Amino acid sequence: MMTYLAYYGEKIWRPYTFWVIEGAGRNILVDTAIHAEDYRNYHPGCRNYPIEPLMTFEEGLAKVSLKPEDIDIVIQTHLHFDHCYNTSKCKHAKVIVQEAEWRFARKPHPVFSPMYSESLLKGLHVETVRGLKKILPGLELIPSPGHSPGGQSVVIETEAGRAIIAGFCSIKENFYPAEDIRERVSHAAGYPVMIPGIHFDAFKAYASVCRIKKLADLILPLHDPEIMDLEVIP
């Protein structure tokens, strides 16, 4: 599901993460993720996945001494259910999303309708943006469509360079596939990057992966299993 036309049938751990940005003078989250039981109960088809609970949204926030009501801003990379399931719990937060994503999420094409839930969007304090947007000094949004119509990635200037939270469902191999992937895995596999296995527009997805790879000193893919081993980034 992560790497288009490559590695089908191979199992990986796929964490569902949200991110806390510190040092900006505001309590900022990127996405709000989903808990294992909520994922399992979201749709009958989700019960087919081997899902293992790690921690709840509230437990994750508590690790950095926060509660949902403390959050000032939620930046939604996109509005698939597994990235915004807990957003409504942040009752005081402004929710920043690309206009194209917000528009599509409220009336999705039937092909993608299971990925969006109207109930998860009710009551949110939404601020839509178009394209590039500076949120605060050292914090910027860049459009990264393709996986979804209005995906956006989050650029954070850190002491170690420019970190980018890739705003689409991806793992490390999307950005750094093996050089021999076409010979060893599949002649149709992408190189020098691989687009997400789920995509709205393959060409836009390819451009977004390439753009982030070019701009970032540190890439943070949304579902890379190595993320589970990190406490602080960078």
Instruction: List, in sequence order, every residue forming a beta bridge with 74; answer none if it has no partner.
Output: 29, 95
* Distance, CA of 85 to CA of 64 (rounded, Å): 20
pLDDT of residue 234 exceeding 90, the answer is no
What confidence tens digit (pLDDT) does each residue in 124-171 have?
A: 999 999 999 999 999 999 999 999 999 999 999 999 999 999 999 999
Q: Give me the pLDDT at residue 231, please.
A: 86
Place of tokens 């601020």: 127
User: Is the separation of the CB atoms in 157 and 138 below 8 Å?
Assistant: yes
16-31 per-residue burial string, b: 16 or more CB within 10 A, e: under 16 = bbbbbbeeeeebbbbb
Q: Which of 233, 227, 232 is nearest to 162 (CA)?
A: 233
| Neighbouring C-beta atoms of residue 110, cutoff 10 Å | 6
**Portion of the chain with pLDDT greater than 90, in percent:** 94
The alpha helices in 79-227, defined as continuous H runs, are: 81-84, 99-106, 118-121, 172-175, 181-184, 202-215
What confidence tens digit (pLDDT) does each residue in 20-78 have?
A: 999 889 999 999 999 999 999 999 999 998 999 999 999 999 999 999 999 999 999 99
Write down all domains in the chain, each with its CATH number in brackets.
19-226 (3.60.15.10)
User: Is the separation of the CB atoms in 205 and 168 below 8 Å?
Assistant: yes
- The predicted model gives 208-231 an average pLDDT of 96
* Distance, CA of 225 to CA of 214 (rounded, Å): 22
Q: Give me the pLDDT at residue 201, please.
A: 98
What confidence tens digit (pLDDT) does each residue in 84-126 have?
A: 999 999 999 999 999 999 999 999 999 999 999 999 999 999 9
| 224 Rama class: left (phi>0) / alpha (psi -120 to 50) / beta | beta
What confidence tens digit (pLDDT) does each residue in 188-208 have?
A: 999 999 999 999 999 999 999
